[in-house]
Amino acid sequence: MAVVQAAAAADGVGRSCTRAAVVVTAAAAALVLLQLCTCVVAAAGAGGDDAKYKDPTQPLNARIDDLLARMTLAEKIGQMSQIEREKATPDVISNYFIGSVLSGGGSVPAANAPPEAWAKMVNGMQSGALSTRLGIPVLYGIDAVHGHGNAYKATIFPHNVGLGCTRDPELVKRIGAAVAVEVRATGIPYIFAPCVAVCRDPRWGRCYESFGEHPELVRSMTSIVSGFQGEIPAGGRKGAPFVAGRRNVAACAKHYVGDGGTAGGINANDTAATFHELLAVHMPPYYNAVIRGVSTVMVSYSSWNGAKMHADHFLITDFLKKRLRFRGFVISDYQGLDFITTPEHADYLLSIKLGILAGIDMVMIPFNYTEFIDGLTLLVQNGTVPMSRIDDAVRRILRVKFTMGLFENPYADPSLAGELGKQEHRDLAREAVRKSLVLLKNGKPGDKPLLPLPKKAHGSILVAGSHADDLGSQCGGWTITWQGFTGNNLTAGTTILDGIRRAVGPAGTDVVYAETPDAGFVRENEARFDYAVVVVGEPPYAETAGDNANLTIPAPGQAIIRNVCGSIRCVVVLVSGRPLVVEPYLGAVDVLVAAWLPGTEGQGVADVLFGDYGFTGKLSRTWFRSVEQLPMNAGDAHYDPLFPFGFGLGTQPSKY
């Protein structure tokens, strides 16, 4: 222990060296002594203002090399650690040299926090990071899978399953740019998006996070990466991490790889596939994401042929890093290392070893960060994890931080606060809603099409259903909280009912709203109504909580359809994250519209129902007849869908 005490006396590095010094065996003593000497040398080479890594005019690799050479093991492992916001005090960040912080779903500085409160929080953490010996800025990350979902009054766009139905990569790119600047408005420079999973089974609870079932469709939608990060300029290097400026964010392609192909659609389950099948179905979106300069890639909880993805050296290192020449960093999922063992966290030291050696560079360890730091330190000290692996990880993390300008602009830009939820972005989201809606039926056989609906009714119109006046349900999961929740008090937006009222209001049409009308109400009042709009669907959910083996329309949706559509000409608008069982009701309804999870701008639904715009959306995934057919995707040998992939009826705007 005399060696430890001597090293602890070194100026500015006592904390890190003492922490790094675990109980030392005779076999590891030489390695420990070497590391402690490195600490002393690094202390003497602390970064002054003239340090090369602080000079933005220096070549990128020169800055990385210079900073990496100055870092101790503790500082390097700190850079590999991403901890939860609630644990990330300035002291924790400075004492442990933490490289990254995250907000999990619903993790916010305060309820209904404005952008300024977010920025103040992030800036406080940044001050802790910049106070350290080398002043390496912290990288704050947050989920933004359909807008800045954690932030109050942010614009919430349709979830990806709806965006896939637009078949419009340029629209998706514009959405990416809008989301990026809304996230930057709160001082955050890094997002865990996009999800580029190819969902092959709608029973999966994350299927709405997927752009569709076909790899080429998902591949085309990686244009959102260029929206988030900015377009690589002509002559720029393809495949290297790229962030254009302070209105852009570092993006994260997830979840690598095969997360949408698990058996039974069970979240984090096993994907049974040959390597050829994996390359043909699940890998293509990553090719394009890497070419577009995506900064990070997140590893999936799922397994491939029984092997945990978080421990897969071949796919992470040999294929992603070497074959695809990905130069950004690889990040684990939330507590992802814990799930390498069964039961979870059963042998955490083994999990650290397997995950880091597989090629994971940054680890999401929201709470037990000291256990990770101590464990990885031990594994390096005893020679289990070579310093070359640590240096590769830190080099990749520093490359992203330098590339995105974090060293030059570590703090929030207060001039961006007004970007959150601005009208221009809400208009864009409304456009996305219009283009994402898919018209599945328009009129019964032998009847004229019912859509577009007339704004001027002879009598009244009935609006019914659990989802007609429920902002939370139309936004779905990953909205304010992780799972999302029902009701109209979570954030700002327009419900579908509000949109209908606004659409017909100038015509003087009376709108009667009955959330759950029974058969008696309908019999007594059916003569009053020219037609009805019934809005039903799924409650909000996220991840495993959304896994669903039966995919029926949840109560009271089925009863409302039966009660209303048996007596009144009706439009059924289905609000859901995936296709649901609708064949039993199809004959009774006049019109069926798949609205997916449209987000905060419910006016977009009314825009199309009433003919201000035409229906143009095409199914991003196959609509099955019964769950017994699943999984079923376009191109399968036995393909008997209710509505095939790519189906969608069109209408013309009323003015035509």
- Known catalytic residues? 333, 543
- Comparing CA positions, the residue from 282, 287, 285 lying closest to residue 304 is 282
Distance CA(156)–CA(388), nearest Å, equals: 42
Amino acid at 518: D
**The 3-state secondary structure of 330-376, one letter per residue:** EECCCCHHHHHCCCCCCCHHHHHHHHHHHCCCEEECCCCHHHHHHHH
For residues 481 and 150, give the distance between their C-alpha atoms in angstroms, rounded to a whole number: 6
DSSP notation for 141-157: EE--BTBSTTSTT--BP
3-state secondary structure string, 616-636? CCCCCCCECCCHHHCCCCCCC
**Contact between residue 153 and residue 421 where contact means Cβ atoms under 8 Å apart:** yes
Number of other residues whose CB lies within 10 A of the CB of residue 357: 17
**60-70 and 387-403 helices cross at what angle (nearest 10)?**
130
**Cis peptide bond N-terminal to 169, omega within 30:** no
Strand pairing category for 510-514 and 529-537 = unpaired
Cα gap 574→552, rounded to integer Å = 12
Question: Is-contact 498 492, C-beta < 8 A?
Answer: no
Show the tokens assigned to 124.
């406080």
CB under 8 Å to 507, separation ≥6 — which residues?
A: 455, 456, 457
Residue 74 · residue 19 · CB < 8 Å: yes
SS3 59: coil
Q: Are 604 and 433 in contact (CB under 8 A)?
A: yes
Answer whether 597's CB lies under 8 Å from 475's CB.
yes
CA atoms within 13 A on the CB side of 243: 27
Amino acid identity, position 365:
I
